[in-house]
Structure 1
Amino acid sequence: MTVDLATLLAILAMAAATILTRVGGLFLIRYVSLEGGRRKAIESIPPAVLIAVVAPTAFATGLAEAIACAVTAFAALRLPMLVSVALGVASVAVLRALGI
C-alpha cells in the first residue's frame, strides 16, 4: 500500500481545520453571553445540520427515505439528536421492510 503525499497532507489539513474550529469555538464561547435569542439560535444548529445532511438523500431516493426524513425532522424538534437519528434509521428500515 502506498500513501500519496498530497492525499496525506489534505487529510492532515482537514483534521487540523476541524480541531481548530472546535477548539476555537470553545474558546470564543467564553466571551459570549448565551441568553434569550442567542441560546435559541445555538440550540437550533444541530437539528438544522442534521436536516441539511439528511434531506438531499431523502429527496434523491424513494418514499421510505422521504418519510424517514420527516420523522427525523419532527423528532429533532423535541428529542435529543441521537434519539432523532435512531428513530430515522429505524423508520427507514421498517418502511423498506414493508416495501414502501
Structure 2
Amino acid sequence: MPVLLLVMAGAAFACRIAGFVAMRFLPPSARLEAALRATPLAVMAGITALALQAGGLVEALALGSAVVLTLLIRNDIFAAILAIGVAAGLRALGF
C-alpha cells in the first residue's frame, strides 16, 4: 500500500510539474488552459477509482457524499474533508 501511495503522489507531482513546463514552452491557449484545469480532477478520479475498487459500501457512500457536497458548497477541498468525515462516521457506526 505505501508503494501505491508513493506512485499516486509521484503522478500528482508530475502532473503539476507538467503544467509549469507546458506554461514555459507552449504558447498560452484556451485548450492548454482547459487541460491544465482538468489535470487535478483526473488524478483525483484515479485515486477514487482505486478506493472504490478496494473498498465497499462505506467508500461508495463517502464518494457519493463528496460529489453531492461539491455541487452544493462549490468547494472541492472542503467537500473532500467532509466526505472523509462521512466515511469515519460510517466506520464508527460499524459499517
Tell me if TM exceeds 0.5.
yes
Aligned length in residues: 80
Mind listing any 5+ residue stretches in structure 1 that lack a counterpart?
Answer: 1-14
Structure with the larger RCO, 1 or 2 (CA within 8 Å, 6+ apart): 2
- 1:68 is matched with 62
With structure 1 as the length reference, what TM-score do the two structures score? 0.56
- 1:89 is matched with 84
With structure 2 as the length reference, what TM-score do the two structures score? 0.58
Structure 1 residues 47 and 73, CA, compared in 2 at 3 Å: closer, same or farther? farther
Mind listing any 5+ residue stretches in structure 2 that lack a counterpart?
Answer: 1-9
How much has 1:69 moved relative to structure 2?
1.8
Across the aligned residues of Structure 1 and Structure 2, the Cα RMSD in angstroms comes to: 2.9
Question: Percent of aligned pairs with the same residue?
Answer: 28
- Any idea what the Cα deviations from partners look like across 1:8-50, whole Å, max 9, x if unmatched? xxxxxxx8xx67x82x641431333142x44333212212211
Structure 1 residues 28 and 90, CA, compared in 2 at 3 Å: closer, same or farther? same
